[in-house]
Amino acid sequence: MIGFIGLGNMGSPMAENLLKKEGTIVVHNRTAARCEPFIAKGAVAAKTVGEAAELADIIFLSLPGPAQAEEVVRELVAHGHAGSCIVDTSTVSPGLNCALAELALAKGITYLDVPVSGGPAGAASGKLSLMIGASEEEFTALELKPYTDTFGDKYFFMGRRGNGNAIKLINNYMAFAAQAINGEALAMADALGIQVDDFYEVTTKSSGNNMILGAKMAKIKAGDYKPGFALDLVVKDLELARQLCQDAQIANFTLNTALQWYRIAQANGAGREDSSAVIRVIRETEKKR
């Protein structure tokens, strides 16, 4: 049986697609009320993580961060059975992925880091990118693709445990640093009297264009900061990326600069808003000068 733990903004549409395929799955969430819509559609709710481990052979995780992932995986390993598989789509540190994989292996359980990118809309439409901490041969042998195909359509095999999250953190650093640059650029346009529509008309069709610029354009124009990917999670991911740099003794000035803007946005109460709220905070900060 398939299990899913973590029914948040990303986990819910992923679990929904798995439920459509399987007819029934085991679900668990710290806030039990999130399980109710799935129960109504045929899912079985596990009262505890341990119960989910006993009921399911393959368990997918979508959790907020390292602390939650470690707690849940340790519980799954304690109550799980040899031959089962844990597919962790959470964004955590590569070092934690490796440690959890070793912990699971000692009990005959396979643990894979398979972080995803594409947001809730991508999860719902089955168009997520999957960054897999394993070889294609191992992934194929585990027969996971029929399940991951329900929410993902782009597969990237990174060879070994931890490298799925390593490339995810690098990707997120690039996207969120670009978003901070976009905010600074908009603040420049504001100061020079360039209208927002004109700013986007030029930059999205010129060499300054970047994927997140277009993706967040409608939100910025409408002042809509309802979260797709919460700003608090950006700070978590950038902190993890910074730790990756420290561990590998890699200099990265841009990451630290971007992180400070997101921390300022947090301090201004934007933590639970969309990541693009950093652009509003940058523009408002410059207007106050």
Q: Which amino acids are annotated catalytic?
A: 168
CA–CA dist 238, 247 (Å, integer): 14
What are 157's strand-pairing partners?
132
Judge residue 211's burial from the number of C-beta atoms within 10 Å of its C-beta, 0-12 exposed, 13-18 middle, 19 or more buried.
exposed
Q: What is the DSSP letter of 172?
A: H
CA–CA dist 264, 258 (Å, integer): 10
Question: What are the residue ranges of helices labelled H in the chain?
Answer: 11-22, 36-40, 49-55, 66-79, 94-105, 119-125, 136-141, 145-148, 163-191, 196-203, 211-215, 217-222, 231-248, 253-267, 277-287
Shortest CA distance to 233 belongs to which of 63, 114, 97, 60?
63
CA–CA dist 279, 289 (Å, integer): 16
- Residue 42 Cα distances to 61, 141, 179, 252, angstroms: 19, 29, 41, 48
Report whether 141 contacts 123 (CB < 8 A).
no
CA–CA dist 69, 9 (Å, integer): 16
Provide the sign of the torsion angle of the four alpha carbons 161, 150, 12, 278, taken in this order: positive
